[in-house]
Amino acid sequence: MADSGHSDTFARDHLPPRQQWPEFLFDLPELRYPPRLNCVAELLDSWIAAGKGGAPCLISPSETLTYAQLAERVNRVANVLTRDLGMRPGNRVLLRAPNSPAMVAAWLAVAKAGGVVVATMPLLRAKELSYAIDKARIALALCDCRLAEDMEKARAQSASLEKVVYWGNDAADALDALMRKPGYERFTAAACAAEDVCLIAFTSGTTGEPKGTMHFHRDILATCDSYGRHVLRARANDRFIGSPPLAFTFGLGGLVLFPLRVGGSTVLLEKAAPDDLLPAIARYRATALFTAPTAYRAMLARLAEHDFSSLRVCVSAGEALPKATFDAWQAASGIRIMDGIGATEMLHIFIGSPADAIRPGATGKPVPGYEARVVDDQGNAVKPGTVGRLAVRGPTGCRYLADARQQKYVKDGWNITGDTYVMDTDGYYWYQARSDDMIISSGYNIAGPEVEEALLTHPAVAECGVVGAPDELRGQVVTAYIVLRDGKDGDAVLSKQLQDHVKATVAPYKYPRIIEYVRELPKTQTGKLQRFELRRRAANRSARNDGD
């Protein structure tokens, strides 16, 4: 590792031991980066130097920024961070906002100044925010003023957060006011090492405790130069649009990194439900769409009502893409959806085929720069046609923030993703199921134990188990099996109260859409909950409902 550019060494000090890292591959010439590197200098400043400052970069309903305008905004935020707020290279900075030019500028400014970005979704509640804040020992946060309520609750609950600076209001100490200071329009990118951490992305784990995945400056470029270049085949005249939050690495890549790497532009929507996406595609003449299978299914019914002729590529990730959805979208639009599997640990998609090499129903082949294989429980590669666990390695990989689960995800130099797959004789990978307790609903990862913990804080709940039930529309839906305390009746009124309670405790999309009241939960002889039995019940229930 090259000498770090960080004076705050927390991130590097809390990387897993080097022997626990996966093996990294840099076989492609474009993946061989210099030892000193600031990803924002490459993604943004290089276009200004190339004379492309006047080209459109960020487009939203409220404003459009050229590359030069975005660069100046980034520089102003970076100066505020370093001059006014005392941020040092290596400090972690929490960001909290919807998808917007302000969020992108803040993200790029933190990284350009040598900080470590910890981006969070607007839907997260104080409990979830405070966990990330304390895990990453974050002292500073930048936040959209509309999201102040839970931000202030998180500050009260956190042991490390010292200062929150808001934007979007008229306060004298707001970020907007601080940015207007003279001389703040220029900023020299911090001299970081390519292996300095610039992003900690948190992802829910099956234990209910999120894991902080640590990514280097070089990783940010590597996902662009592998998937973005060889599979997506992004172009300078592309205009990207999509639904995933920028706090999701799927959204970060599709709506920020890939456009900037090729000098393209992106449309940022604070509301990007299916009914919002279709008119926005027409209005902004978007060419590349990033969203989940759920959204593609939902848009089919209204596709004919909108002009989508500008679209040239559609990307799906976050959950398995059903072949029926692929076929229906192609029949209605003439576009073949590019399926892909990625992971927060890997930063972005590592298996997925270009549009001209898609095999409907398959996830695809390993992205150039990556290798994959299907392994048995001992880590041995299995023959084509054999079901096993997916293992992958490439230019990005898992490095958890101070987490013993590193040794579970990385084995013998390979990232073990937690998915079961089959590889066919032509090298295409076919998704089978999740091999852990994660529920994937409408593209969101939801940890069953986290929902259980929220339910157990309600006075009516004695015990509970939460799993995913198969669902045609959402892929899976959160299903709760609940044992009530004595004297409590499991009726529709209580179910609504429990759902509202979960929404108020954790992110609202995690609430159980199905609640069943049971006398007891299936357990092992040692008293451990048998989630596989609950999954079986949930699957049978879905089958009965489908039969009806």
Q: What percent of the chain has pLDDT over 90?
A: 82
Burial class (CB in 10 A: 0-12, 13-18, 19+), 488: middle
Please tell me the predicted confidence (pLDDT) of residue 222. 98
Buried b (16+ CB within 10 A) or exposed e, 156-194: eebeebeebbbbbeeeeeebbebbeeeebeebebbebbb
pLDDT-derived band at 546, boundaries 50, 70, 90: low
The confidence score (pLDDT) of residue 207 equals: 41
Is it the case that residue 532 has pLDDT exceeding 50? yes
Domains belonging to the chain, first-starting first, are 38-191 (3.40.50.980), 438-547 (3.30.300.30)
What number is the average pLDDT over the span 115-125?
95
**Number of neighbouring beta carbons within 10 Å of residue 235:** 14
Point out which residues pair with 366 in neighbouring strands: 351
pLDDT digits (tens, 9 = 90+) for 9-44: 999 999 999 999 999 999 999 999 999 999 999 999
Instruction: Dig out the tokens for 249 from the structure.
Output: 């690495």
Q: Contact, 314 vs 358, CB < 8 A? A: no
- pLDDT 10s digits, 154-207: 999 999 999 999 999 989 999 999 999 999 999 999 999 999 999 999 986 434
Mean pLDDT confidence for 285-312: 93
Q: Which residue has the higher pLDDT, 377 or 348?
A: 348
Q: What's the N-to-C CA distance of the chain in angstroms?
A: 60
Least confident of 82-86, 131-135, 204-208: 204-208
pLDDT of amino acid 205: 45
Region 49-58: mean pLDDT is 98
Q: Which amino acid is at 525?
A: Q
For residue 547, the model assigns a pLDDT of 57
Is-above-0.85 flag for pTM? yes
pLDDT digits 0-9 by tens, 380-410? 999 999 989 999 999 999 999 999 999 999 9
Instruction: Write the secondary structure of 9-26 as one string of H (helix), E (strand) and C (coil).
Output: CHHHHCCCCHHHCCCECC
Residue 1 has pLDDT above 70, yes or no: no
447 has pLDDT over 80: no
